[in-house]
Structure 1
Amino acid sequence: MLTVSIVIPAWNEEERIEDCLLNATRQSQAPKEVLVVDNHSTDATASIVQHFIDQHPDQHVKLLHQDREQGLIPTRNYGLDRATGDVLGRIDADCMLRPNWVEVVSGIFTRDPKAMGATGPVAYYDMPGKRIGLKGDNTIRKAIYRADDGQYLLYGSNMALRATAWRAIRSHVCRDKEDIMHEDVDISLHLIDQGFKTVYCKDMNVGISARRMDTSFTSFRHYMQRFKNTFDAHPQHTREQKPEHTLYAIYPILRAFYPVYQKYLESADINPAERVWIREQMELFHRRDQELDQEDH
């Protein structure tokens, strides 16, 4: 099986970074390394990561600092450039990986030598109905998150690249100093430019926060405009479906319900990020206990 590095760009993520690392290291197949790339955080992000490293020295978590530029793209690039796995996973610092994520990702690229990028569905861990939400996201994302002749677009919160593919597109990906594009879509289009295959896997699951929906409509509209801006920067590429239309449709519902549900979680003292994959994690622990028992006998 191919090895998988996990790269996590981070800026002021003290609220969720420890949960993110716990999920990234509680895996059925261990990642080769987990690289947290701190980008001038002014909160406790870096110290929390360092404390995690000190408490879990066998988990291959590393703290890197990208101090030259402020921004997601240079921070992402810094981590991907230094990752040593056969496959480079890339998630956000508030993402929670399903316990078999590394195993699934490794399997995708091991079974399909032509696969150069992979992505999958996500579930909102700080909203109710995780399973229904995951099923709905899978249906929508698989159907409309595509470009050109049906090539899948990668989603930054849940994506992986073959290391050789990253090295092939590294000098071509857009810097986007104006910060008006979707960097994950940009990577996808550069992969397609090289004739590389991108794949979608429904079992490649990540829990994400719905906090993006808890913004003003003006802010949300600017974020949605990034889709058009990215394709405008790549006029040789086309798309039949526009994911932003679906997101516009669900925005009012999530915008209204998100703060209400957060108050419930706070009053009940529930950490949703900790609980999102608890059932799957318990199954993993139980399976490992059984394996240890069999070894003892």
Structure 2
Amino acid sequence: MLNVSIIIPAWNEEERIADCLMNATRQTVAPHEVIVVDNKSTDRTCEIVEQFQREHPEAPVTLLHQNDEQGLIPTRNFGLNAATGDVLGRVDADCMLKPDWVEIVAGIFTEDPQAMGATGPVVYYDMPGKKAGLTGDDWIRRHTYRADDDQVLLFGSNMAVRATAWHAIAGEVCRDKEDVMHEDIDVSLHLLSHGFKTVYSQRMICGISARRMDTSFKSFHRYMQRFKNTFDAHPDHWREHHTERRLYAMYPWLHALYPVYQKYLAAKDVNPAEQIWFSEQIKLAKKDFASL
């Protein structure tokens, strides 16, 4: 089976990076490596990663520093270029991978030699109604998150690319100096330009934060404009569905609910990032203990 590297770009992520690393390393199949790429953080992000390395010396966690340029894209590229796995997973520093994520991703690329990129649904771990939310996100991604006659678009918080495919497009992906595009869709369209196959798996699940819904409508609107900007930058590609229309419809109630639910979590002293896969992590820990 192919091995999987996990790349985590990070800028000022002290609140969630330890939980992210715990979920990335406690997997049914161990990752080949977990690379945190710090991008000039001014908080305790690096200190927390280094502490995690000391407390978990068996975990294949590496901390790299990308200090040449501020921004997600150069930081992402730095990590992907440094990775040595057969498959390169890319998630955000506040993402919580399901405990079988590495196993699922390795299986996707091992079983389908033509697969060059893969993605799956996400669940908002800091919102209520997680099962319904996951079902809804899965529907949107299966039916609308597509381009070029139903080709799958990758989602940056939950995506993986075959290493050979990444190195084929690494010099072509847009730098987006103006920061107006969706970098994950840009990667997807470059893959499709090469005729590379992208796939979607309902089992490739990642927990993410709904914190973007806690922004003003003006900020949210600018973020939604990135869909159009990205396709405008790639006129050879097209889309039938506009995913942002559904996200606009969801924004009002998610924007209203998010701060209320955060107060509820705080009152209950619940860390939602720690709790999202808690029962599955307990089962995995018991299995590891039984095998000793």
TM-score normalised to structure 1 length: 0.97
- Separation in 2, partners of 1:61, 1:189: 30
Query: 1:87-116 deviations in whole A, cap 9, x for unaligned?
Result: 000000000000000000000000000000
- Separation in 1, partners of 2:66, 2:216: 30
Name the residue aligned to 2:265.
265
Residue 139 of structure 2 is aligned to residue 165 of structure 1: no
Equivalent position SS for 2:77: helix
Amino acid at match of 2:228: K
- Separation in 2, partners of 1:286, 1:132: 29
Equivalent position SS for 1:15: coil
Name the residue aligned to 1:295.
none
Name the residue aligned to 1:31.
31
Name the residue aligned to 2:101.
101
**Structure 1 stretch 211-220 or stretch 137-146: which is displaced more?**
137-146
1:54 Cα offset (Å): 1.1
Residue 228 of structure 2 is aligned to residue 228 of structure 1: yes
Query: 1:53-81 deviations in whole A, cap 9, x for unaligned?
Result: 11111101000000000000000000000
Name the residue aligned to 1:137.
137
Amino acid at match of 1:170: A
Residue 148 of structure 2 is aligned to residue 148 of structure 1: yes
Name the residue aligned to 2:182.
182
1:287 Cα offset (Å): 3.0
Equivalent position SS for 2:35: strand
- Separation in 2, partners of 1:67, 1:291: 43
Amino acid at match of 1:66: Q
- Separation in 1, partners of 2:252, 2:276: 24
Query: 1:173-212 deviations in whole A, cap 9, x for unaligned?
Result: 0000000000000000000000000000000000000000
- Separation in 1, partners of 2:24, 2:274: 12
- Separation in 2, partners of 1:73, 1:281: 32
Equivalent position SS for 1:134: helix
Residue 209 of structure 2 is aligned to residue 209 of structure 1: yes
Name the residue aligned to 1:77.
77
Equivalent position SS for 1:89: strand
Query: 1:136-183 deviations in whole A, cap 9, x for unaligned?
Result: 111111111000111100000000000000000011100000000000
1:131 Cα offset (Å): 1.5
- Separation in 1, partners of 2:288, 2:69: 43
Equivalent position SS for 2:174: coil
Decide whether aligned partners of structure 1 residues 101 and 185 sit closer, same or farther in structure 2, where only a CA change above 3 A counts: same
Name the residue aligned to 2:61.
61
Name the residue aligned to 1:17.
17
Name the residue aligned to 1:111.
111
Equivalent position SS for 2:43: coil
Equivalent position SS for 1:265: helix
Question: After TM superposition, which residue ranges in structure 1, 4 or more long, deviate above 6 angstroms?
Answer: none
1:290 Cα offset (Å): 4.1
Sequence identity of aligned pairs in percent?
68
- Separation in 2, partners of 1:283, 1:246: 36
- Separation in 2, partners of 1:101, 1:43: 29
Name the residue aligned to 2:192.
192
Amino acid at match of 2:164: T
Amino acid at match of 1:159: M
Amino acid at match of 1:104: I
- Separation in 2, partners of 1:136, 1:287: 32
- Separation in 2, partners of 1:225, 1:31: 35
Residue 90 of structure 2 is aligned to residue 90 of structure 1: yes
Amino acid at match of 1:58: E
Q: Return 5+ residue gaps in structure 2 as ranges.
A: none
Equivalent position SS for 2:155: coil
- Separation in 2, partners of 1:60, 1:282: 21
Equivalent position SS for 2:36: strand
- Separation in 1, partners of 2:168, 2:198: 14
Equivalent position SS for 2:235: coil
